[in-house]
Structure 1
Amino acid sequence: MDSHEDNADWGAWASVPWNPVTDSPTSTAETLGWHKSGVPYVPRGQAVALQTLDVWIPAAGITTNPLEPSYLPSLPGTWIVYIHGGAWRDPFITSASFTSAATNLLRRVTTTATTTQSTQSKPSAARIAGLISLNYRLSPHPSHPCPAPDLPSRQARHPDHIADVLTALAFLNRLGILPSDSDSPWILAGHSCGATLAFQSVMAPARWGLAQVSNPTKPRAIVGFNGLYDLAGFIAEPPAAHAHLREGYREFVSGAFGADDEGVWRAVCPATAGEGWVGEWIGGSGGGARGRRRPEAVLVQSWEDSLVPYEQLEAMRGRLEGEGKGVVDVRVVEAGGDHNDIWSEGIRMGEILWEVVEALSVA
């Protein structure tokens, strides 16, 4: 990455300071890692408030303290990129919703490094280079207590959401944070509609009328937490236990993708999108090549989820095991708790992501 001051990407990166992440607010607390909040991934003058991302990196292996804002992480390991949920419209759920899980993962890295040094034991296979959480423009939320009808960042309509995700990933590619080829696998994760966006992002941008948008390097693994995969199916025939949510679903789906356009609703959802998208993913992930692990889809869902029924996972698993048979590994994991518990508490999310990193590291 060219780090000259006239490089717009580098300038955006260096405009945000690194702040220490600790387990407690005391000045003597151990530094688990470093955090940048609100890095713009769209050129200044064009960006709106939500076109930003957060970055966390482990302190292990970094000898400089404090870090200069221009510091670009280059230690080996796996990067995890996370996309938050919120039905494409909730302004209270942002990139910061990954904080609990990120802190949990930084703590795991620190504990593993300390144990390895003190006992001279074999190091864990899991090596995390860094963590990223994306913001993206939101759709209007007329019933929200803070509707903000005039904010450009809250007037998005498909394909604006996925365009922002692809733009952010391309920004990370250009910086050299995410690999520009498939030799260094990375993980893409998302919660609820963030899981929808994660799978949308590995499809050809032309599907969304975004042929001009850079097609970033594909992740080796996608982890969907309590994901939305078949919106038209839910609205047409919701499971009995969730039938009372039908009109709420119709409202936010119409706000994000257009009112009562079932054809669009099916086209944008990974369980019902047009054929061929699995091939669009594996063609750029590097998986399936000789000696390399196949791409993996990890579908995480809670039986206790009061907002998203388990049938959403079943629809997605069926699609992946059909179109992706023999080329994509599909794994189902129990989340536990209600819909947002997995990110608000962060422990289970961190545990699952750590396991996925370990699996990639030994592949």
Structure 2
Amino acid sequence: MASSLDYTVHRYGAHELQRVGVWDLDIADKTETKYWIIYIHGGAWRDPRIAHETFAPVITRFLEGNSDESPRSGSGRGSNLPVAAFASLDYRLSPHPEFPQDPATTPPERFRGARHPEHLADVRAALAFLQRRYAFGRRYVLVGHSAGACLAYQLVAGMSSSTTTITTSTSTTGVKEDDLVAVELPAAVFGVEGIYDMQGLDARFGGGYAGFLEGAFGPRGAWDGAAPMRYAGSYKERFAGGLAVLGHSVDDELVDMPETVGMAERLEKDGVEVLLVKDLRGLHDDAWRDGRGVARTVLRTLEILRERDGA
């Protein structure tokens, strides 16, 4: 169980959502044979009910060692896992119509009014904080679900490093300019049921997603500039040697398979190594509520990385 691990919440900024949880599996191991697993939650960039703690069921699947009986899944506390620690981060959210706040009376450190690239700047700041504190460099797998998958691939594309509205004052945002650039990219990035092409997804769902997409990214004309599938640069140049993993459930009712397949095709076109997993099961949020498919795929990813390491 995730509750069996030492768990610490760190702050990386002044806002109440600028926090990251760390579950210590074997942080003290300095042999550089183990990886961190770092998670970015979804929730359409705005749902305050979905936070960093929602990664706990997936961690439990790792520790149970029963994610479809993977040959390297370990047992008990997970001592055989090639994992040093698990981390899950929160980031400032956009407004949600069902959970309104009055900007005149809500303190800045509690107000949910973020818009791209502020969510992504927080992801970068959280990763920079973890890398400075624990010195694991690029020995991590970055996992993102839904909106979190979008953020993970936006990070790989560098979409917040050259254009940002974040101020450098920690009194207003808690994010310093250094945090926006000093991030080593992961050895592998795993997008689960992600949103990668806002225009395409909204069109296939009859315009029904415009509300939360406008809340997160502004007018429709701004969406393509933030869409990982429409990134103007080369992923091969940004992510040389990295492993891109994409997973989707055939039962997903909120995001359709073309999002994942289209992103895989884009990455392959750029010459990036892609692992495409299309046999996950369950509804959209079952990815983190159940966790079996995510744990199984991350273990497979770790096997590939360890083979590269010669382990």
Q: Which TM bucket (shorter chain)? A: 0.7 to 0.9
Residue 35 of structure 1 aligns with which residue? 7
Whether the aligned pair in 2 keeps the contact of 1:104 and 1:347 (CA below 8 Å) is yes
Whether the aligned pair in 1 keeps the contact of 2:17 and 2:91 (CA below 8 Å) is yes
Residue 256 of structure 1 aligns with which residue? 216
User: Residues 154-213 of structure 1, C-alpha deviation per residue, up to 9 Å, x if partnerless?
Assistant: 11011110000000111111113432xx5xx31001000000000111223434337752
**Identical amino acids, percent of aligned pairs:** 34
Residue 112 of structure 1 aligns with which residue? 74
Residue 139 of structure 1 aligns with which residue? 94
Among candidates 319, 327, 346, match of residue 266 of structure 2: 319
Residue 65 of structure 1 aligns with which residue? none
Residue 56 of structure 1 aligns with which residue? 23
The alpha-carbon deviation at position 73 of structure 1 amounts to: 4.0
Q: Distance in 2 between matches of 1:166 and 1:173?
A: 10
Among candidates 138, 149, 154, match of residue 200 of structure 1: 154
**Tell me, which stretches of 5 or more residues in structure 1 are unaligned?**
1-19, 23-30, 62-71, 117-122, 288-294
Structure 1 residue 128 corresponds to structure 2 residue 83: yes
Whether the aligned pair in 1 keeps the contact of 2:2 and 2:56 (CA below 8 Å) is no
User: Which residue identity does 2:211 align to in structure 1?
Assistant: E
Q: Distance in 1 between matches of 2:56 and 2:301?
A: 19
Among candidates 202, 217, 224, match of residue 191 of structure 2: 224
Among candidates 119, 133, 145, match of residue 191 of structure 1: 145
User: Which residue identity does 2:248 align to in structure 1?
Assistant: Q
Residue 328 of structure 1 aligns with which residue? 273
Matches within 5 A, 1:170-319: 170-179=128-137, 182=138, 185-204=139-158, 205-209=160-164, 213-235=180-202, 237-238=203-204, 242-243=205-206, 246-247=207-208, 249-261=209-221, 264-282=222-240, 287=241, 295-319=242-266
The alpha-carbon deviation at position 111 of structure 1 amounts to: 7.5
Q: Distance in 1 between matches of 2:248 and 2:133?
A: 33
Q: Distance in 2 between matches of 1:34 and 1:322?
A: 42
Residue 303 of structure 2 aligns with which residue? 358
Structure 1 residue 155 corresponds to structure 2 residue 155: no
Are the structure 2 counterparts of residues 75 and 148 from structure 1 closer, same or farther at C-alpha, using a change threshold of 3 Å? farther
User: Which residue identity does 2:7 align to in structure 1?
Assistant: H
Are the structure 2 counterparts of residues 106 and 34 from structure 1 closer, same or farther at C-alpha, using a change threshold of 3 Å? farther
Tell me the secondary structure at the aligned position of residue 80 of structure 1. Answer: strand
Residue 41 of structure 2 aligns with which residue? 84
Q: Distance in 1 between matches of 2:251 and 2:10?
A: 35
Q: Distance in 1 between matches of 2:2 and 2:258?
A: 38
Task: Compute the TM-score of the two structures, normalised by the length of structure 1.
Answer: 0.72
Whether the aligned pair in 2 keeps the contact of 1:300 and 1:332 (CA below 8 Å) is yes
Among candidates 158, 167, 170, match of residue 125 of structure 2: 167
**Tell me, which stretches of 5 or more residues in structure 2 are unaligned?**
67-71, 167-176
User: Which residue identity does 1:136 align to in structure 2?
Assistant: Y
Q: Distance in 2 between matches of 1:208 and 1:328?
A: 27
Q: Distance in 2 between matches of 1:275 and 1:302?
A: 29
Q: Distance in 1 between matches of 2:2 and 2:36?
A: 18
Matches within 5 A, 1:62-81: 73-76=28-31, 77-81=34-38
Q: Distance in 2 between matches of 1:270 and 1:303?
A: 22
Q: Distance in 2 between matches of 1:214 and 1:149?
A: 33
Tell me the secondary structure at the aligned position of residue 356 of structure 1. Answer: helix
Matches within 5 A, 1:19-34: 21-22=2-3, 31=4, 33-34=5-6
Deviates more, 1:101-110 or 1:47-56: 101-110
Q: Distance in 1 between matches of 2:29 and 2:37?
A: 14
Q: Distance in 2 between matches of 1:156 and 1:337?
A: 30
Tell me the secondary structure at the aligned position of residue 85 of structure 2. Answer: strand
Whether the aligned pair in 2 keeps the contact of 1:298 and 1:333 (CA below 8 Å) is no
Are the structure 2 counterparts of residues 115 and 131 from structure 1 closer, same or farther at C-alpha, using a change threshold of 3 Å? closer
Residue 69 of structure 2 aligns with which residue? none
User: Residues 236-271 of structure 1, C-alpha deviation per residue, up to 9 Å, x if partnerless?
Assistant: x31xxx43xx23x1001100111232xx21111110
Q: Distance in 1 between matches of 2:63 and 2:100?
A: 35
Tell me the secondary structure at the aligned position of residue 10 of structure 2. Answer: strand
Tell me the secondary structure at the aligned position of residue 206 of structure 1. Answer: coil
